[in-house]
Structure 1
Amino acid sequence: MPAAPAKKTSDKGLSAAFVRTVKVPGKYHDGGGLGLYLRVTESGARSWVQRITIRGRRSEIGLGSPPVVTLAEARERALENSRVARSGGDPLQMKRATHAVPTFEEAARKVHALHAPSWRNNKHAAQFISTLETYAFPRVGRLKVGEVTTGDVLAILTPIWFEKPETARRVKQRIGTVLKWAIAQGWRQDNPAESISQALPKHDRSKSHRKALPHQEVAACLAKVRASEAWIATKLALEFLVLTAARSGEVRGARWEEIEFSGGAGDPGASLVAAWVLPAGRMKMKKAHRVPLSRRAMEVLRDAEALKDGSGLIFPSLSGKPLSDMTLSKLVKQLGFDADVHGFRTSFRTWAQERTSFPREVAEAALAHKVGDAVEQAYARSDLFEKRRLMMEAWANYLQLGEGKVLEFWGQR
């Protein structure tokens, strides 16, 4: 059956009241030369349609439905389409391109999936999307990724900028990652997460540093750790962490196959020369790192042999999984020391600076930090292992025997 012709209402076109009340099925022409009409179906559904010539071909474009799209808005859209068509453009193609642009939430989940192979662990992967679900999606999740503005990002971050500074920083970074992907796709030209930096107040970095014990108090802390009733793996892991100046995750995930002894792999009693070799995948800087083991560190490993449970972990929890970072932190706090586990790296670094003559680059290498610019790093091929071995032995002696004995050790080296 041929479509019914559009019904003309008046020379002035449609009225808002007519659009709101019309129920008789048909097509109602608006007039004005834009080809706009209101379609009313048998079910009573209404929609805006524009008949338009695009590059010599007659076409129809849907413009939405009342009351979401008002008569005035439908006329504006029809007028813009006519302007585009007259200039040789294709408003239909533009509409399809607009619909192809994902929402911010869709884009974020796409980026999350694309980055999946690069996540260091499942926890980091989950945090990326969960923080956006909590803080960003309620505000911009349904917006097209190209429509997110600086004002939107500011509204997301402002409530948590001082209350949860680290979370806010990560949310800002993750929003920026999504918008960078959108730029690469051609869906936007700018990144509000980057341009907003000047609009946000500065954080007081002096209050955000990890709490660290003065190096003079670390030995007393370790003595209390050894005397505590904590699980043996927790005590050994914490002491090993201090002795090696390593990060918590590196120690908690330490495996027996990472230990190398000159007298035979996996044998803590084989030799006084040993190393803990961490693969690049377990390091923050994604570069393999050798840690020289002091005599006391090897004693800790000998004690840890009793914990072998088939998991391969040196310091397994009771369930055979890696210890949690909270477990180590909780023990330090329970023993009365106001310090973060990560802060023991600071204690070590301060000791090296104040109590030894080891060069700065040796101490930084012990912490697996990069030193110098790209050119200097390119020429610095040595990992300073032998110098670091002397340093870590001196650190272990300082912790066990006290400063006076350490000075005696220095005279004998």
Structure 2
Amino acid sequence: MRLIFSTSDFKISDVPYPKFPILLDAFMNIQWHVLNFLIYICTQIGNAGSPDTWEQYGRALYDYFGFCEANGYDWTVTNSTSKHTTIDKYRNWSMAECGLEASTVNDRMRIIYRFYEYALKQQWIQSLPWEGEKEFLKDHKSALVKKDTTGGDKSYSGGRKSGRKASVTTISILNRIQIATTLEAIANLELKLITRLGLACGLRKQELLTFPTKYIVDPKEYPVAKMNYRITLNPDEMKTKNNKSRQVDIPASLMRDLWSYVKYDRQTRASLCNDEEDKKLLFLTEHGKRFANGGRGLNTLYKELSLPFKLNPHILRHTYATHTLYVLTKMNLPMVPLIYVRDRMGHASIKTTEIYLHFIELVDDSVLDTIQNNLAEYYAEVVNEASQEF
């Protein structure tokens, strides 16, 4: 499954629609059912008339149909005799395997539900793949949420369709050995640097994939050696959640390697790039294209590593937050570690950051002590700068 975007040559009723999403299957055939739905929803519905909204719809359906194609599921089979329908399997896969936030999964599910409702009206399917109310996830719990016809939400546990049991929300992180195993298993230079940047800064997936080349500096230009480089993420230059700016700290060793990559390795890929906006991105594929940022690109590359543990971009983010919070807490600093990590992660509320405090208690202290010894020196300069902020 591939997602492409049209040029101005693509017209609907003689009106050009550049940047319109189009899905292609493994044989490069247009997914006409999806295209017809997108044309309807994106050109005839008043609140879905911007290219950004088209992209959101396109990427959600690309992720869902890509999931169906990869697993051999027929999306038109809506009266499944198995325990879970295809959309149930997709919802659980998005949470359990991809580590996506509940809000992200819910946004995609709303689009998928809308597609199936349109498909029923077009008589492409005989029935909807759900009974009664639509199912959504709570933001901070694994219980599902049923949305009633009045717009209210009501939660339940272990629904018949989903089979998900109520449990305390946990997060997955990598320990020191798993980090080393991961980096050793990655042969692709771009993927290794993306992984290191995720581990070192806690960036979200879309931030890793839209990180600008201009943020990388030559360490030799600084007269005094730096332990960390404070970088401001500008939503005008890259994608950030809710278009909010924030600052992150890149360790000196990683900055040196990123600068070397820009100077010596990236040029070949950039020379193959025909898109001026893509040329500004730090990481490009071997064909000079931007990495897929709809949820499948990096996940697929990590899956191909065949590691004995789960790995995805969000786990890298969890790993950064947990280890950093532990290290800063142990160092007895004249600052508030939770606030520092909150600001680096871009959390809207300190309560979100506090989740990592509870998870630390479940991790072997000996592992984190080893990580603390390895990372403490990198925070020497960060501590001095951050202590002045509080």
Which protein is bigger by CA-based radius of gyration?
1
TM value normalised by structure 2: 0.49
